[in-house]
Structure 1
């Protein structure tokens, strides 16, 4: 699924996360994209993005909720943009199932424009602090 505008990425990511739909998140990525997940897993390719996010949503992110904060969009070059989105994640789960509390996180994504629209070529979801 390509986006009509790079500014749509953060909301599309948030909505798919809320729906617990790793395939919908992965659809925002290019077929050969790279993604560094919140747990430090490096996914290479759209299918791997879906797999990594699916595993995280079955694990530490099983009860997680995102609250969006500040968004920053930067045009890097014609047809290339960076989106940075701040989130607060609550409901994180330890491996033993106990509550891990909440954290601040930043999602940084590099997008490129294609004939079909905008897609993520590389992204990193990182805990703050």
Structure 2
């Protein structure tokens, strides 16, 4: 995590590290086209709306949707996920704003839609997991 991250509230360093780990694991899973690893970053009970506006309401639904998507329209899509804000909502519950930048397979930025994503990540019995989120596709920011 870089020092550019706006942190609002009491977010201990150990929590920052855990939450960043979830976001980076999600990025790796997306870029590796691994729907199981991607879904494992979500809580069993979750609410996720993807960039197409489709909602999945549990970990299994996310894996079920992601597998075919990663083999078809997302096959050649890669991204870098950068955390820009952490907001403590309650102890053990963090809102995380992420900017997604499209990249090529080597991680170099390319033209394309960006993502403005909000994750709500909370401590679960099996670790820190995304419990709710929304991904919004946006035009590239002006230079």
Normalising by structure 2, we get a TM-score of: 0.73
Instruction: Name 2:63's counterpart in structure 1.
Output: 50
Matches within 5 A, 1:86-105: 86-89=99-102, 102-105=112-115
Deviation at 1:70, TM superposition (A): 4.8
Q: Which residue is 2:45 aligned to?
A: 32
Q: Which runs of 5+ in 2 are unaligned?
A: 1-16, 105-110
Q: 1:33 to 1:103 in 2, by over 3 A?
A: same
Whether the 8 Å contact between 1:109 and 1:124 is mirrored in structure 2 is: yes
| Partners of 2:43 and 2:124 within 8 A in 1 | no
Residue 78 of structure 1 corresponds to 91
Runs ≥4 in structure 1, deviation > 6 angstroms? none
Is the 1:7–1:73 Cα contact (8 Å) retained in structure 2?
A: no
- Residue 23 (structure 1) aligns with: 36
Which one has a larger percent strand, Structure 1 or Structure 2? Answer: 1
Residue 122 of structure 1 corresponds to which residue in structure 2? 132
CA distance in 2, matches of 1:29, 1:116: 10
Residues 7, 83 of structure 1: 8 Å contact kept: no
> TM-score, length-normalised on structure 1?
0.80
Number of equivalent positions: 117
